[in-house]
Structure 1
Amino acid sequence: MPKYQPIIAAVSLALFAVVACAGEPTWTDPAKAAAENVDFNVQGEYAGDKPADTAYQVIAMGDGKFTVVECEGGLPGAPGSAFTSKTTVHADVDAAKVKQLVGDAHRVQRTSPTLGAKAPAGAIVLFDGSKDSLSNWDKASLDGDALCEGTTTKKPFGSFTLHLEFRLPYKPTRQPSNQDRGNSGLYIHNRYETQIIDTFGLHYNAPDKDAWRSLFKQQMGYDSKSDRTQWCASLYHFKNPDLNVAYPPLAWQTYDIEFTAAKFDANGNKTANARITVVHNGIKVQDNVELPKGTGAGGKRPEIPAGPLLLQGHGNPVRYQNIWIIPK
């Protein structure tokens, strides 16, 4: 289960004072974001003393404005939390109102229990922060010791266990649900996409799609800019995750994936569909889901028994680290 620790800071009105930012800035480094954008030091997660106390996810909206999401039962996926996606949303509030709403809750920074997981015996290390490991990828580049998006493994894989860590940029002026708010994706065989995007604080609090869209607009004050099957940890345009356990932007997050490739007979006829399990930040959010074909645009391509892994480039600076795979 995810771990978290309080962020030790004096929570005062002075801390929450906000200076508006011009333009549409993007940060990829949390230290720079904290130094250059006061809103970054307000956004994030706030928890009570007990795991099942009401918790808060504060989303930066740009120019000193925030959306505060009250999470009944605690933070999503936190140890001891009773959260079931039931939320109350306070949209378009300033920093002073954030302070009032969160009350005595303290700001926390959660860490995935699998962050930094070491590759076991038999694993292939695809990226470990070194320049040498770039040789596993086509058109790969580094940002410090992190791998940039927009690259593909040179080697194909069939079925596998995969560990991958990613960090989404901080883009506060892009509305939550906008597909330009830190968009990438893990494309398996260039057919099946597990979405990677900043949808921190957005939840699946209505089972029916039409009811969900109506509730989203009621709570957020605008129409969702995307379908919920385009949100983080979704199987793109096919199935949303069972729970949104995304962390705030610029926090390292993890995917631990079990993938079983589609099977074919000697004549090339498919005999079994592909299946996937996705564990996001230590929480299983896709459980052995059957994939009758590729997802999104990948559904237009014929399925194959083995193929590369693509870290999709979508014009957003998403960063990766500690990627390893165990072929089956």
Structure 2
Amino acid sequence: GKDLSGWDGDLRLWSVKDGVIRGETTKENPAHGNTFLVWRGGKLKDFELKLKFRIQNGNSGVQYRSKEFDKWRISGYQAEVENNPGKVGFLYHEGGRGWLVNVGDMMEIDKDGRKNVVGKVSDVEALKKAGYYKMKDWNEYTIIAQGNHLLHYLNGYPTMELVDNDRVTNPDDPKDSKGAAMEGLLALQIHAGPPMIVEFKDIRIKNLKPKYGNAALLFDGKDLNNWVVNGDKNKSKWVVGTPAMSSENPKLLVNKGGEGAMINLAGRHGDSLDFYSKDKDKFGDCRIELEVMVPQGSNSGIYVMGEYEIQVLDSYGKAKMSGHDMGAIYGAAPPSVNASRKPGEWQKYVIEFQAPKFDASGKKVANAKFVKVELNGRVLHEDLEMKRGPTGGALTGREAPTGPLMFQGNHGPVAYRNIIVKPLLK
């Protein structure tokens, strides 16, 4: 907080004042093109970055996994900084692919560089109403990069998420900028144009060990072609759209049209069927991230490998949790806390799972284990071994090294979105 040690930039424009990094341009002292203060502590790969910023006017950004193609000139991923709620928090690709992900969107870029909005991480108007950004005041960015998976949070609110499957650029070629990046520089931007002031402080970087492989999206937000009904498909009530809790009957979901979520519009128990991912999407040791919505009193389940159920239930406000409530491992353990949100709201699960292990003869030598289960950022289970094997209602009732992801659909209405699986690296 005393000087710019470790940083490199145009000292006409960058300084430290009152313990914060300050970038300032004036009519008399302008920026000659976009210019950057570059951190010389080395390249970042997988990391979690937290910092605070305050901008009075103009436009700025936080560059990460970036390249320096000329002195203090940078290309790469940029987290947007500006006094514009609804835009601050989006992802831009400076000197490369341009605008990538709008605020509120969950995006996939495929191997050919095509962009596909697969869902939503936030509603933009709800973010604005909640005051996710504080005008001309200090705001905190959290930026997470793990393999091909990038996430932005602003003051704790998710603003965008990207699975970048574009070709990976050469990290040693500063001119190769139109593609994904797995490593690169950290830098802070002063944008060319009218006079501006931007400040940064409390910059903290946590390097993340490469624990998981690249993220795979199991649902593209557009259709259900990669999913299979467990039974007569004519009895299925799974559709694609935008769910909401019915205003006429809060025990039901309605489809408002559009895309982005898989919705089970079942009206009662037994009114639809379970749904599981196709063979090509089978997995073993992994991390699963997804969001789920249930209306009042509804019931579903997330079957990891098709065999081990994490309960999905409207348990909002319940004082004592049982083995049948939201977040329970069905028949094995209740959740340690009630982390449930109100019915009709999206809720996020993060599941780290270890598949059962078998020797060469096919004999099981290690049980399946829920390494960690989180709901809405709170830990529900850790190191829970599935000694009894599959839970009730499993797809086959048999244990195997790999299996699909299955959602229970015959117990009531439910919706899922932003479904990601990351394999555990060996």
Matches for 1:242-253 after TM superposition, within 5 Å: 242-253=336-347
Residues 114-156 of structure 1: CA distance to partner in whole angstroms, max 9, x if unpaired? 696444771111124223xx22212452133220243210021
Name the structure 1 match of 2:420.
324
Please report how far the alpha carbon of residue 283 of structure 1 lies from its aligned counterpart in structure 2 after TM superposition: 0.8
Name the structure 2 match of 1:148.
263
| Divergent runs of 4+, >3 A | 111-121, 297-300
Mapped contact 2:359–2:365 kept (Cα < 8 A): yes
Matches for 1:86-105 after TM superposition, within 5 Å: none
Residues 215-256 of structure 1: CA distance to partner in whole angstroms, max 9, x if unpaired? xxxxxxxxxxxxx10100000011001101100100100000
Percent of counterpart pairs with the same letter? 35
Q: Does 1:192 find its partner at 2:308?
A: yes
Residues 58-92 of structure 1: CA distance to partner in whole angstroms, max 9, x if unpaired? xxxxxxxxxxxxxxxxxxxxxxxxxxxxxxxxxxx
Name the structure 2 match of 1:312.
408
Higher strand share: 2
Name the structure 1 match of 2:55.
none
Distance (Å, rounded) in 2 between the aligned partners of 1:232 and 1:114? 22
For the pair shown, the structure with the greater C-alpha radius of gyration is 2
Tell me the secondary structure at the aligned position of residue 127 of structure 1: coil
Distance (Å, rounded) in 2 between the aligned partners of 1:138 and 1:189? 14
Tell me the secondary structure at the aligned position of residue 225 of structure 2: helix
Name the structure 1 match of 2:325.
231
Q: Does 1:126 find its partner at 2:218?
A: yes
Q: Residues 196 and 148 from structure 1, CA distance in 2 versus in 1: closer, same or farther, beyond 3 angstroms?
A: same
Residues 20-40 of structure 1: CA distance to partner in whole angstroms, max 9, x if unpaired? xxxxxxxxxxxxxxxxxxxxx
Q: Does 1:182 find its partner at 2:298?
A: yes
> Which of 376, 381, 397 is matched with 1:301 structurally?
397
Letter in 2 for 1:167: M
Distance (Å, rounded) in 2 between the aligned partners of 1:289 and 1:158? 16
Q: Residues 162 and 117 from structure 1, CA distance in 2 versus in 1: closer, same or farther, beyond 3 angstroms?
A: farther
Q: Residues 298 and 135 from structure 1, CA distance in 2 versus in 1: closer, same or farther, beyond 3 angstroms?
A: closer
Distance (Å, rounded) in 1 between the aligned partners of 2:344 and 2:294? 5
Distance (Å, rounded) in 2 between the aligned partners of 1:116 and 1:239? 33
Tell me the secondary structure at the aligned position of residue 135 of structure 1: coil
Mapped contact 1:112–1:281 kept (Cα < 8 A): no
Name the structure 2 match of 1:291.
386
Distance (Å, rounded) in 2 between the aligned partners of 1:289 and 1:118? 30
Distance (Å, rounded) in 1 between the aligned partners of 2:401 and 2:339? 31
Distance (Å, rounded) in 2 between the aligned partners of 1:161 and 1:263? 17
Distance (Å, rounded) in 2 between the aligned partners of 1:248 and 1:115? 21
Letter in 1 for 2:376: N
Letter in 2 for 1:267: S
Matches for 1:246-261 after TM superposition, within 5 Å: 246-261=340-355
Name the structure 1 match of 2:119.
none
Distance (Å, rounded) in 1 between the aligned partners of 2:340 and 2:159? 14
Q: Residues 246 and 202 from structure 1, CA distance in 2 versus in 1: closer, same or farther, beyond 3 angstroms?
A: same
Matches for 1:263-278 after TM superposition, within 5 Å: 263-276=357-370, 277-278=372-373
Distance (Å, rounded) in 1 between the aligned partners of 2:295 and 2:411? 11
Tell me the secondary structure at the aligned position of residue 323 of structure 2: helix
RMSD of aligned Cα (Å) = 2.5
Please report how far the alpha carbon of residue 322 of structure 1 lies from its aligned counterpart in structure 2 after TM superposition: 0.7
Mapped contact 2:306–2:395 kept (Cα < 8 A): no
Mapped contact 1:229–1:236 kept (Cα < 8 A): yes
Normalising by structure 1, report the TM-score.
0.52
Name the structure 1 match of 2:227.
137
Mapped contact 1:169–1:318 kept (Cα < 8 A): yes
Tell me the secondary structure at the aligned position of residue 327 of structure 2: coil
Looking at both structures, which has the greater relative contact order when contacts are Cα pairs under 8 Å and sequence separation is at least 6?
A: 1
Letter in 1 for 2:219: F
Higher helix share: 1
Please report how far the alpha carbon of residue 316 of structure 1 lies from its aligned counterpart in structure 2 after TM superposition: 1.5
Name the structure 2 match of 1:216.
none
Letter in 2 for 1:156: K
Mapped contact 1:169–1:316 kept (Cα < 8 A): no
Please report how far the alpha carbon of residue 300 of structure 1 lies from its aligned counterpart in structure 2 after TM superposition: 8.4
Tell me the secondary structure at the aligned position of residue 141 of structure 1: strand
Name the structure 2 match of 1:164.
290
Q: Number of residues paired by the alignment?
A: 184
Tell me the secondary structure at the aligned position of residue 373 of structure 2: strand
Mapped contact 2:276–2:306 kept (Cα < 8 A): no
Distance (Å, rounded) in 2 between the aligned partners of 1:326 and 1:302? 23
Deviation larger for 111-120 or 186-195: 111-120
Distance (Å, rounded) in 2 between the aligned partners of 1:319 and 1:113? 21
Distance (Å, rounded) in 2 between the aligned partners of 1:250 and 1:183? 13
Distance (Å, rounded) in 1 between the aligned partners of 2:310 and 2:283? 16
Tell me the secondary structure at the aligned position of residue 218 of structure 2: strand
